[in-house]
Amino acid sequence: MQKLLILAEGQLDIFSAKTAVGVLRYRPEAVAAILDSEHAGQRTSELLGVALDVPIVATLTEGLAFAPDALLLGIAPAGGRLPEEWRALIRAALEAGLHVVSGLHEFLNEDAEFRTLAEERGLRLVDLRRPPIEQRIAHGEARACGRGAC
């Protein structure tokens, strides 16, 4: 199972960090720690109203001590754009060997710097909003099944 270090630097609240809160509520076993220097040491149950407490750390180095496999961008900012001040953290996470998972509208795979770092290290950049290459919609397959062809 993949263990996530959730990046919410400076935005760890129930409105900005909707992605982080959703994962904490519905996949708590997947969370190793949360990275947010402004709230380091606080309790996620009190801060976010979730039923569990996971460590909130101030630095990537502290987060790596919890053995995550991937960095999850845990916010849903207006416009879905990557905060410029997060670029160094993402770069450092890739250099540390973490895959990076993003639900932003801005695709990490289209960023030459991140793509190169990931490729050099055999890591994945996962853009959750990118539609599948082949999205099969309305091909009449159900009709064929009704005639016993499936």
Q: Which amino acid makes up residue 22?
A: G
Write out pLDDT tens, residues 91-136: 999 999 999 999 888 899 999 999 999 999 999 999 987 766 665 6
131 is written with which tokens?
Answer: 């539609």
Q: What share of the chain is helix, strand, coil (3-state, %, to 5)?
A: 35, 15, 50
Instruction: Give this prediction's pTM.
Output: 0.85
Report the alpha-carbon distance of residue 129 to residue 134 in Å, rounded: 14
For 74-124, where are the E strands, in sequence order?
Answer: 99-102
Residue 70 confidence class, pLDDT cut points 50, 70, 90: very high
Spatial CB neighbours of 133, under 8 Å, sequence gap ≥ 6 = none
Write out pLDDT tens, residues 18-50: 999 999 999 999 999 999 999 999 999 999 999
Angle at alpha carbon of residue 41, lines to 39 and 45, rounded to 5°: 80
